[in-house]
Amino acid sequence: MNTIAEFFERERVGGRPLVAAFVIATQGSTYRKPGALMLFSDSGERCGLLSGGCLEGDLQDHALQLLRSQQRTLVKTYDSRGSDDPVWGLGLGCEGLMQVLLLRIDAASSHEPLNSLFSAAKSRISAAFAINIETGNIANSAETSTSLNGKLFTVTAERVPSLLLCGAGPDAEPVVTLAVMQGWKVTLVDHRPAYIDATRFAQGARLLRTDADELDGAVNLDEMDAAVVMSHHLLADGKYLAVLARSKIPYVGLLGPAARRERLFAELGSAAESLRARLRAPVGLDLGGRTPEAIALSIVAEIQAVLHECGGAPFSAGDQASDLASLRSRSVKR
């Protein structure tokens, strides 16, 4: 399955029960944080990760037990802080605590709250539900204060990012693959009919043939979170940028060197000014590598960082800064 939403939909349509495992609390270092979700099916399949593979087998055992019982919920706590001994026989060694809520999802509950959460995410609207972790009773956030009692955990719909790729050449293929793997909604356009071939791209991407200067008539640009211009056709790229300049898409990427960017900007004239603050050109993070796959990785990585308002720096950079500050502090004390 490409995404956890597709895994859920397959089970829901089949009328089969499954277990949703939500991270509801963490302390210290953990692989995932509160709100993270994975699913377990009655047939023994699973989708998603809550750890690097350390907990999933144990969680699956408990999920299958829950499916075969009359219970709706089960809370499991995994604590690997302050001990060198293997925890739960799993040998985690992560120096963190993770509390996981296992919730039975079935036709009797109309497969809620996942049915509404995934529908909201697909429709790009907000939704939140409170779950009583003892009873499994569910209410939307507006009803929470009056309809539920007990200890609650609130889950929210994660808005599915939408990516527009302008250009369906061979190097667009790995970009589509990586974006679809992320669960993004991908729309691919090109003015060349021969390039609009669904067999070349990951399943789930939407392909459209349109002339570059008619882009805004073929695609609802207000729905897009990011756009990348990569047709390798100078005239078409200029037309794509002219249309995108009139949009409000917060991230616009352009493939190619800086000199090409400035040439296109010169041709755009005053329209280029509305693009400068949000244009990433050359597009992508400096990750090294020259293959289409490496370039695709750098593009998708930059979009991921921008959408999550992160700088794209290595996690270890924070540790190095902390170590340097500690060394300076000890030096001053001496």
Would you say residue 331 has pLDDT above 50?
no
Identify the pLDDT of residue 94: 59
Question: Which one, of 95, 98, 68, 66, lies nearest residue 83 by Cα?
Answer: 95
For 199-255, how does the pLDDT look when each residue is reduced to its tens digit (9 = 90+)? Answer: 999 988 999 999 999 999 999 999 999 999 999 999 999 999 999 999 999 999 999
196: helix, strand or coil: coil
> How many CA within 13 A on the CB side of residue 191?
17
CA 33, CA 299: separation in Å to the nearest integer? 25
Contacting residues for 285 by C-beta, under 8 A, at least 6 apart: 298, 301, 302, 305, 312
Average per-residue pLDDT in the chain? Answer: 87
**Tokens encoding 175:** 């970009």
Domains of the chain, earliest start first: 4-156 (no CATH), 162-307 (3.40.50.720)
CA 161, CA 238: separation in Å to the nearest integer? 25
Higher pLDDT, 123 or 197: 197
Q: How far is CA 222 from CA 125, 163, 182, 225, 304, in A?
A: 14, 11, 21, 8, 19
Question: Which one, of 216, 73, 230, lies nearest residue 152 by Cα?
Answer: 73
Identify the pLDDT of residue 245: 94
Identify the pLDDT of residue 148: 59
Question: Which one, of 116, 14, 32, 18, lies nearest residue 67 by Cα?
Answer: 18
8 Å CB contact between 25 and 99 = yes
Helices and strands, counts by H and E, the chain: 11, 14
CA 132, CA 130: separation in Å to the nearest integer? 7
Identify the pLDDT of residue 84: 52
8 Å CB contact between 129 and 101 = no
Angle at 186 between CA 199 and CA 123, to 5 degrees: 125
Q: How far is CA 214 from CA 228, 240, 282, in A?
A: 16, 9, 24
Band of pLDDT at residue 52, cut at 50, 70 and 90: confident
Identify the pLDDT of residue 8: 94
Band of pLDDT at residue 319, cut at 50, 70 and 90: low
Question: Which one, of 146, 119, 141, lies nearest residue 130 by Cα?
Answer: 141
Q: Per mean pLDDT, which range of 65-79, 148-162, 311-325 is the poorest?
A: 311-325
For 124-165, how does the pLDDT look when each residue is reduced to its tens digit (9 = 90+)? Answer: 787 888 999 999 998 876 555 455 567 888 988 877 899 999
Q: What are phi and psi of 71, to 5 degrees?
A: -75, 155
For 286-305, how does the pLDDT look when each residue is reduced to its tens digit (9 = 90+)? Answer: 999 889 999 999 999 999 99
**Tokens encoding 266:** 């010169």
| Burial zone of 68 (CB within 10 Å; 0-12 exposed, 13-18 middle, 19+ buried) | exposed
Band of pLDDT at residue 82, cut at 50, 70 and 90: low
Identify the pLDDT of residue 176: 97
**Tokens encoding 166:** 């302008």
CA 225, CA 219: separation in Å to the nearest integer? 13
CA 41, CA 282: separation in Å to the nearest integer? 44
Q: Per mean pLDDT, which range of 17-21, 114-118, 119-123 is the poorest?
A: 119-123
Question: Which one, of 67, 91, 72, 69, lies nearest residue 80 by Cα?
Answer: 91
